[in-house]
Copies of this chain bind each other. A is one copy, B any other.
């Protein structure tokens, strides 16, 4: 198992019978997922995805990645929310948070279309100046403002540089299988397309073409990723709470929330985990943050942030718990040598690997925070590689579904995301939004 739950540091916060009390509710949540009987049951495609994914498309993804690697020194990935967070998290987790800067034989990956900042767009345009690049545009509809705007720009740039025919060889669209603006345009123009399945929501889509194509271009081992997801799915299938770490994690989140801990801080000790935290925040925030309920998801990278958020966690308002990623094998190591002069007094650390010091920082922090009144849930992560990425993703996805059902919400919709969009369209004068515009104008004039 790549991920194991350690509940040792919860003993002073959770009594043994509490999980027993939740077992029947977890069983009910399990039924909702596996019998597709719960809220949002049109979006359960991710459950069997590690087994049922389209093998023909999988092969096409790998072939497209090879073509991109041969043709380009950069891949522009256009997408927002679930259409980029997973791939970015994967590349940093599996490769490095310094992926682009490091020497390598795979293209740089630039994520665009996830902001309306012109400064950011101009930066990326200057980074591909004189650089051969390809584009992977990821959008179910093709009309979401941020990615659609970016696609206009990079499509035009490709067509200017390589001609309309040449551009077709460099544009890959991940979109709806049959409908929508981007699908239509792709069919008309002859772009190769990959599918965002109808029954997999954005934040659950990293193991579809949405995540897999950029990951393959960055040199991730897709077979290993899917193998990890498969093993994770098998391990998380058992409805018996005692035997299912994934479900116990979900149950513990729920019971801590009900005790008044309303903020969950995901804590890892590797900078390359930072974007994984962002992926996690979307997954849980968007799945559970509704109907005026839900844990507020936050994250820290330690020991770095022990020197920024550490004081608050140790001693601030007692409203949070931590979920700590306890990495068992470091990605690489560094041996600490003796210094003859011991000018810094650090020789007590000499003769061991830096990863051991990192581990002791974690151990020391857990003990200190628990003493400070912060429940610590520990997830032991075997290593940070392709396999464990697939494993961890599925673990968090399944736990999120169970946790959402325990909270009584639909874990698979995101109705609140429309609010700002409608207002924005009205303010921008989009046809069809005239009434809302009149309302807003009145509101703003007050």
Q: Which residues in A have some Cβ–Cβ distance to B below 8 Å?
A: 80-82, 85, 96-98, 100-103, 114-124, 126-127, 142-143, 145-146, 148-149, 151-153, 181-182, 185, 202-203, 262-263, 269-272, 278, 281-282, 285-286, 288-298, 301, 303-304, 306-320, 330-334, 336, 339, 343-346, 348-349, 353-355, 357-358, 360-361, 363-365, 367-369, 371-373, 414-417, 419-431, 440, 443-444
Contacts and interface: CB of A to CB of B under 8 A. Distances in A.
A401 to B, nearest CB: 16
Q: How many copies does the complex hold?
A: 2
Given A295-B317, A311-B417, 11 more contacts: A81-B308, A85-B308, A116-B269, A119-B271, A120-B271, A149-B354, A181-B344, A185-B344, A289-B311, A292-B316, A365-B423
Given A119-B330, A262-B317, A102 B80 contact: no
14 contacts: A98-B124, A102-B126, A117-B269, A119-B330, A149-B354, A181-B344, A182-B344, A285-B311, A290-B312, A294-B312, A294-B316, A298-B298, A312-B416, A348-B431
A420 B443 CA distance: 50
B291 A315 contact: yes
A422 B306 CA distance: 13
B296 A308 contact: no
Contact of A103 (B126, B282, B314, B355): B126
B423 A116 contact: no
B424 A118 contact: no
Contacts of A85: 308
Given A421-B364, A443-B367, A312 B297 contact: yes
A364 B427 contact: yes
B127 A101 contact: yes
A277 B309 CA distance: 12
A314 B317 CA distance: 23
Contact of A349 (B127, B345, B372, B428): B428
A263 B317 CA distance: 10
A421 B420 CA distance: 44
Nearest to A433: B348
Contact of A152 (B311, B346, B417): B346
A269 B117 CA distance: 7
Contact of A298 (B296, B314, B422): B296
Contacts of A127: 98, 101-102
Given A307-B114, A307-B417, A308-B286, A364 B424 contact: yes
A334 B416 contact: no
A315 B415 contact: yes
Contacts of A333: 118
Nearest to A320: B296
B126 A426 contact: no
A142 B360 contact: no
